[in-house]
């Protein structure tokens, strides 16, 4: 079986975890501080705050900005549910704006229409590892005095016009879930240049404590452990190599897919570094699920990211939160992610391409 994702853990991560375990300091401690410092440096921001997950990073980012009940946050309906759920956690309302059908990211041209006097922020997602179109999004933010919160959960090391994802908005959030481009097991990170926001997020992640046992605001326990940070520090060192391999794998797949019919390879914007968290194709003619089953039956793992819009989830329907995003709905019925991770061998890639050629013949009657 060729899996859709595979965390790459070497002896170095294992050795570093063992050192932490033997140190006696296994909760949040010096390794977390070091990981925050190195991650901030990598992204090119002043501050990074580690958390238990990408979801809790988003939760704290929204809280730190002071967004609250009654406020609205504009976001994409074509993402993992955590993006919009984080807006619900704080009692605010996600307002869904449609995506660009080529990049699958928030369509900047459609944002203005969604702004009301309750809108406080725009939360773009850098989906699949390709940055959202940040220049127009930032311009809309500035013109309307809205915060930009980047959901960079899938975009470690991605760049837009030479600048790192995670350094564009007032605040940004990353995930280190095992399928992500780098992992800590579970984990997340907030990045920002704003000292006050970083300080508030630090307090919120630890029961609102500035000093120990001095609780000034209501917070949580969203602290990362030194065990997780030890893994993260090694993964961060390896990240550029992982990314290079993802990009090379994507290039190989695209070169071959573009010569076979029925399947559309991913579009990459100009002046963007797409880090291919996912390599997501479009399958035409309503055949996506058949292709998925066919590949799965022959040992190639695939994924559908995502099979429905967030607003069509029962949770959102029950809450009366609606959306009208035809491009996102169409994408949800056509997208299919193929393996692109750095654990793939040359043989794996050749096998995927072979099977896609069979797919083309079987489902689209196209010879090469
Ligand atoms: C776009 C996006 N946002 C948020 C999250 C939440 O991250 P986590 O699973 O670490 O809570 C994820 C990943 O799962 C994601 O892909």
Dist CA 204 CA 223 (whole Å): 10
- What are the backbone dihedrals phi and psi of residue 303, each rounded to the nearest 5 degrees, phi first? -145, 155
Tokens standing for residue 38: 């190195």
- Residue 172, C-beta contacts closer than 8 angstroms, at least 6 positions apart: 43, 45, 61, 149, 150, 151, 152, 165, 166, 190, 191, 192
Percent of the chain with pLDDT over 90: 94
163-164 and 147-151 beta bridge pairing: unpaired
pLDDT of residue 17: 98
| pLDDT, tens digit (0-9, with 9 covering 90-100), for 225-269 | 999 999 999 999 999 999 999 999 999 999 999 988 889 999 999
Do the beta carbons of residue 158 and residue 164 sit within 8 Å?
A: yes
Match 């995927």 to its residue by tokens.
352
Whether the CB of 360 sits within 6 Å of ligand 1: no
**Best of 51, 54, 179 for a ligand 1 pocket test (most atoms within 8 Å of beta carbon):** 54
Q: Which domains does the chain have, with CATH numbers?
A: 11-235 (3.40.640.10), 239-364 (3.90.1150.10)
How far is ligand 1, taken at its centre, from the CA of residue 182, in Å?
13
β-partners of residue 221 are 206
pLDDT category of residue 368 using cuts at 50, 70 and 90: very low
pLDDT, position 210? 87
With H, G, I as helix, E, B as strand and everything else as coil, classify residue 197: helix
CA 20 to chain centre: 28
Cα angle value 78/84/85 (rounded, 5°): 130
Q: What is the pTM of this model?
A: 0.97
Beta strand 272-273 with 188-192: parallel, antiparallel or unpaired? unpaired
What 3-state class would DSSP assign to 318?
Answer: helix
- Gyration radius of the chain's alpha carbons: 21
Give the 3-state DSSP-derived string for 27-91, with helices as H, strands as E and coil as C: CCCHHHHHHHHHHHHHHCCCEEEEECCHHHHHHHHHHHCCCCCCCEEEECCCCCCHHHHHHHHCC
Model pLDDT for residues 100-110, shown as the tens digit of each residue: 999 999 999 99
Residue with tokens 């630890």: 206
**Helical ranges in the chain per DSSP H:** 11-23, 30-43, 54-64, 82-89, 134-144, 195-205, 226-257, 288-297, 314-318, 326-334, 346-364
DSSP percent split of the chain into helix, strand, coil, nearest 5: 40, 15, 40
How confident is the model at residue 366, as a pLDDT? 59
Tell me if 243 sits within 8 A of 199, measured CB to CB: no
Start-to-end CA distance of the chain, whole Å, equals 26
Arithmetic mean of pLDDT over the chain: 96
pLDDT of residue 260: 83
Nearest in space to 304 (alpha carbons), one of 290, 284, 288:
288
Q: pLDDT, tens digit, for every residue of 47-84?
A: 999 999 999 999 999 999 999 999 999 999 999 999 99
Q: How much is the pLDDT for 284? A: 82
pLDDT for residue 354 = 95
Q: Is the CB of 51 within 6 Å of ligand 1? A: no
Q: Rounded to the nearest whole angstrom, what is the distance from the C-alpha of residue 80 to the centroid of ligand 1?
A: 6
Report the range of poorest mean pLDDT among 80-84, 212-216, 293-297. Answer: 212-216
pLDDT of 121 > 90? The answer is yes
Q: Would you state the structure tokens that stand for residue 278, as one six-digit string? A: 């996912």
- 82-89 and 54-64 helices cross at what angle (nearest 10)? 40
Is the C-beta atom of 188 inside 6 A of ligand 1? yes
Ligand 1 close to Cβ of residue 129 (< 6 A): no
- Tell how far the Cα of 150 is from the centroid of ligand 1, in angstroms: 12
Q: Which mutation among 53, 129, 172, 177 tests ligand 1's pocket best, with the greatest number of atoms within 8 A of CB?
A: 177
């Amino acid at each position: 079986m060729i899996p859709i994702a595979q965390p790459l853990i070497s002896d170095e991560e294992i050795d570093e975890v063992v050192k932490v375990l033997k140190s006696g300091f296994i909760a949040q401690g010096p390794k977390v501080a070091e990981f925050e410092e190195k991650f901030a440096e990598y992204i090119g921001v002043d501050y990074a705050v580690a958390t238990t997950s990408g979801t809790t990073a988003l939760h704290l980012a929204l809280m730190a900005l002071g967004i609250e009940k009654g406020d609205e946050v504009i976001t994409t309906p074509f993402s993992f549910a955590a993006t919009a759920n984080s807006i619900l956690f704080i009692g605010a309302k996600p307002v869904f704006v449609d995506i660009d059908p080529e990049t699958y990211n928030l369509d900047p041209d459609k944002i203005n229409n969604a702004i009301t006097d309750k809108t406080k922020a725009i939360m773009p997602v850098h989906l699949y590892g390709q940055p959202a179109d940040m220049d127009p999004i930032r311009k809309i933010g500035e013109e309307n005095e809205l915060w930009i919160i980047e959901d960079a959960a899938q975009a470690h090391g991605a760049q837009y016009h030479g600048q790192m994802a995670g350094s564009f908005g007032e605040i940004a959030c990353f995930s280190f879930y095992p399928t992500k481009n780098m992992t800590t097991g579970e984990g997340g990170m907030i990045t920002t240049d704003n000292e006050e926001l970083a300080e508030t997020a630090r307090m919120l992640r630890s029961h609102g404590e500035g000093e120990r046992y001095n609780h000034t605001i209501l917070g949580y326990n969203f602290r990362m452990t030194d065990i997780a940070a030890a893994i993260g520090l090694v993964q961060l060192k390896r990240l550029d190599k992982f990314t290079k391999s993802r990009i090379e794998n994507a290039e190989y797949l695209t070169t071959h897919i573009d010569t076979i019919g029925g399947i559309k390879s991913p579009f990459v914007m100009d002046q963007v570094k797409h880090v291919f968290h996912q390599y997501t194709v479009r399958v035409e003619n309503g055949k996506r699920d058949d292709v998925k089953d066919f590949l799965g039956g022959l040992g190639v793992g695939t994924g559908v990211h995502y099979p429905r819009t967030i607003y069509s989830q029962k949770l959102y329907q029950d809450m009366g939160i609606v959306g009208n995003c035809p491009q996102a709905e169409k994408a949800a019925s056509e997208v299919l992610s193929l393996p692109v991770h750095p654990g793939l061998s040359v043989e794996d890639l050749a096998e995927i391409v072979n099977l896609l050629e069979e797919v083309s013949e079987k489902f689209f009657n196209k010879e090469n």
